[in-house]
Amino acid sequence: MKIVKNAGNIELHETENFVLAQTLDCGQAFRWKELKEDLWQGVALGKVLKIGAKDGVITLYNTTEEDFYNIWQNYFDLERDYRKILNTLSANDVLKTAGEYAYGIRILRQEPWEALCSFIISQNNNIPRIKGIVERLCENFGVEIEEGVYSFPTAEKIASLSLEDLAVLRSGFRAKYILDAAKKVSGGEIVLDRLRDMPIDDARTELVKIYGVGEKVADCTLLFGLSHIEAFPKDVWIKRAVAKLFDGVLPECATEYAGIAQQYIFHYARMTKLEI
């Protein structure tokens, strides 16, 4: 991949394993909107970004080199060699096929609190409605960064609210879980940043102390928010897929990068509805 500065924009050339639609709309993040064909807008780390793809070039609009190297390079996981990982996973034929379907997915390095909160909301829910609830969460309790664009609210802000305040989200039974998570995080009972460098099992044990956080939500937080690339969240799609495609056991070659394999399998399962 080549990084080119061009008139206030940052361009990424020769990006073999980075497809915006696959990465931003695969159910790992819920705040990216497609404004028009191959042009997306999102908010992360308190910054608004427009990013688009055209003629094989991915452009980050109105982005300084400083922001690119301090924020977006890491956020989009650009320093990881996905081609190498695809090759490793291809030792298994089914993973190879799934990888060919989903080759352009990258695991975003989202903020831990946003990931935790988003996946609490995701439980027993569908992706369009998750997006709606997250949007209302930001509009009601985030900070307006630009006209009509809001940051993800902090745990401290949410912790200062009541269940009645959260009713505007229409998040149903999940509101009490959001509140408990906010209290434990803002109160220092759980220090999310510290979970990054912990052994994954210890980190998971911490996360499931939150009311309404079980193994699956914990693993999504570990994978999408805390860079534990070996986490393997088991949702209904993955359970069905692993049962059908692998006889219930994930192949050995997927152990090290299970989280990336998980995304490929999830995408493949949803695209094919497991009918082939």
> Closer CB to DNA, residue 56 or residue 214?
214
- Position among 41, 125, 140, 160 found at the interface with DNA (CB under 7 A): 125
- Position among 233, 250, 258, 268 found at the interface with DNA (CB under 7 A): 233
Shortest gap between Cβ of 256 and DNA (angstroms)?
Answer: 18
- Position among 98, 195, 217, 250 found at the interface with DNA (CB under 7 A): 217
Residue with tokens 């991949």: 1
Shortest gap between Cβ of 51 and DNA (angstroms)?
Answer: 19
Strands (E), the chain: 2-6, 9-13, 33-36, 39-44, 47-54, 57-60, 144-146, 149-150
By CB under 7 A, residue 126 contacts DNA = yes
Per-position x/- string for 168-207, each x denoting binding to DNA as judged by CB under 7 A, each - no binding? --xxxx----------------------------------
> Closer CB to DNA, residue 43 or residue 213?
213
Give the DSSP letter string of 28-92: S-S--EEEETTEEEEEETTEEEEEEEETTEEEETT--HHHIIIIIHHHTTTTS-HHHHHHHHTTS
Give buried/exposed letters for 174-203 (b at 16+ CB in 10 A, else e).
bbebbbbbbbbbbeeebebeebeeeebeeb
- In the complex, which residues of this chain contact DNA (CB under 7 A)? 26-28, 122-129, 167, 170-173, 208, 211-218, 220, 233, 235-238, 262-263, 266
